[in-house]
Amino acid sequence: MPEQTVKIAREFDYDVVVCGGGTAGFCAAVAAGRAGAKTAVIERFGVFGGTMTVGGVNAPALFHAHGKRIIGGIGWELMEDLHKRGYATMPPLDQGLRHPQMSVEINAFEAEVAIDRMVKDAGVDIFFHQTVVYCNSGNGHVSSVLINSSEGLIRINGKVFIDCTGDGNVAVMAGADYEISDELQPGSLNSIFMNWGKAADDPEKTVEKFLKDVESGVLDPHDVWGLYVDALVSGHGRGRGEPAWKNYTINVGNNLNHVYPFNGADSRSRTEGEIEGRKSIARIVHWLNENVQGFENTYIASVSPVVSARESRRIMGNAYITGEEYVRGYCPEDSVCYSFYPIDVHRGSEDAPLDNEYQDEGKVPGIPFGALTAKGFDNLMMAGRIISGDRRAQSAFRVQATCMATGEAAGTAAAMSVKTGVSVDKLDINELREVLKENGMIVPGLE
């Protein structure tokens, strides 16, 4: 095949380039911008927030552990702003609630508006509706990426790159080492149900009918993950345990299904998964219409444009977090933030949908800085659920509050690298930790 050339429509130069504007990415961009770095953020959708907004999981967790707050910084700043304006509900720390019920419940639209403001105020250049299609790298250094646009290909040159894509797409294009499990956790396609009322007080009959229809093939076992149809129609088990008709944040339809098998890092799997996810939601809403009093006229108001993946690639870094270390609350000396959630592996079997393992009382693990720097690279970092660790640890540190904290740590480190001329893998960790503390993060050992 003859050699072909591509036309570059435009070209830009930046200090820090953040690829992905989800929970980790927007925090990384804001942190780098506030630190004075000329920063760009590239986002495939037209909105920031990732799973918290676009993905429909508008209940970021967990900022608290054992009755006290353990994550601060930009993510917590957003939560406080929403709360003060009446768009977020904080968890009641004095109650013995289950871990999903200790999230901050937010209004997703107001979060989108607030994040727009934070990113713009930080002086960050925004590239919405664009994705990285090529990464120019060599000898452990990334020099530029190409992104798609309505004008054609745009070259973005940078001094430090941060992969916040959720699937490690940019790091893999750059040639970074990664791990991916043979079996991946299911994804979920989130939706908002409308026009429903209190279900008839006969949950046993509802569950019996549901299980019978799963057995006969009318429904798929993944249509309601864990087969918890009683929780679906009552609202109990979601949010603070309030009935669905009292809970505006986590309601009927939210985080409803398991899309399985699903690999967010594989385009064919993602395509098929999103088609199957919509079919699953349709089956359930039609089943509710026909079988549950109070849901006769229920319909789908909206569906997230993307299946939210729980797991795909994990990029290998200069440190590696194991599930065993995470559970026992290990805090390495180079920890830049805390993380708190049980080991939370979603399985493909709905008879046993979860594998949970909890920290002991008072134990809170730390995230080492080395887990945010790509092994063998001097200017490539990662934040969010793709940081360096094993599968069991990833099932816990993948949650949104931790993603925000790792994003801020990566963005701050990237700006420091540009300012000092020191590669990200050789930064002064103690200096970085002090800066993070000054910026409002809760840094292990510096509280």
Torsion of CA 361, 100, 386, 135, to 10 degrees: -150
Q: Which residue has the higher pLDDT, 48 or 193?
A: 48
Q: Where are the domains of the chain?
A: 8-182+311-438, 191-303
Q: How confident is the model at residue 233 (pLDDT cuts 50, 70, 90)?
A: confident
Q: How confident is the model at residue 381 (pLDDT cuts 50, 70, 90)?
A: very high
pTM: 0.96
pLDDT tens for 384-393 read 999 999 999 9
Torsion of CA 285, 289, 295, 296, to 10 degrees: 140
**Looking at the predicted structure, is the pLDDT value of residue 436 above 90?**
yes
Instruction: Give the pLDDT of residue 238.
Output: 57
**Looking at the predicted structure, is the pLDDT value of residue 199 above 80?**
no
Q: Which residue has the higher pLDDT, 150 or 203?
A: 150
Could you give the angle at the alpha carbon of 103 between the alpha carbons of 99 and 107, nearest 5°?
A: 150
- Alpha-carbon radius of gyration of the chain: 22
Instruction: Give the pLDDT of residue 114.
Output: 98
pLDDT tens for 386-435 read 999 999 999 999 999 999 999 999 999 999 999 999 999 999 999 999 99
Instruction: Give the pLDDT of residue 182.
Output: 95
Q: How confident is the model at residue 37 (pLDDT cuts 50, 70, 90)?
A: very high
Task: Work out the average pLDDT over 264-288.
Answer: 96
pLDDT tens for 308-362 read 999 999 999 999 999 999 999 999 999 999 999 999 999 999 989 999 999 988 9
Q: Is 358 helix (H, G, I), strand (E, B) or coil?
A: coil
The DSSP annotation for 152-190 comes to SEEEEEEEEEEE-SSS-HHHHHHT--EE--SS---BB--
**Looking at the predicted structure, is the pLDDT value of residue 363 above 90?**
yes
Least confident of 163-177, 198-212, 296-310, 352-366: 198-212
Q: Is 361 helix (H, G, I), strand (E, B) or coil?
A: coil
Task: Work out the average pLDDT over 154-171.
Answer: 98
Q: Which residue has 């009918």 as its token pair?
A: 209
| β partners of residue 156 | 12, 145
**Looking at the predicted structure, is the pLDDT value of residue 251 above 70?**
no
Instruction: Give the pLDDT of residue 99.
Output: 86
The CA–CA distances, whole Å, from 119 to 14, 68, 337 equal 16, 28, 22
**Which of 73, 82, 72 lies closest to 52, judged by CA?**
82
The DSSP annotation for 16-42 comes to EEEE--SHHHHHHHHHHHHTT--EEEE
Instruction: Give the pLDDT of residue 3.
Output: 78
**Looking at the predicted structure, is the pLDDT value of residue 222 above 80?**
yes
Pick from 96-105, 181-190, 239-248 the range whose average pLDDT is largest: 181-190
> Is the previous residue joined to 354 through a cis bond, with omega within 30 degrees of 0?
no
Could you give the angle at the alpha carbon of 408 between the alpha carbons of 18 and 114, nearest 5°?
A: 85
| Amino acid at the residue 330 | Y
**Distance between CA atoms of residues 264 and 186, nearest Å:** 10
CATH code assigned to 8-182+311-438:
3.50.50.60
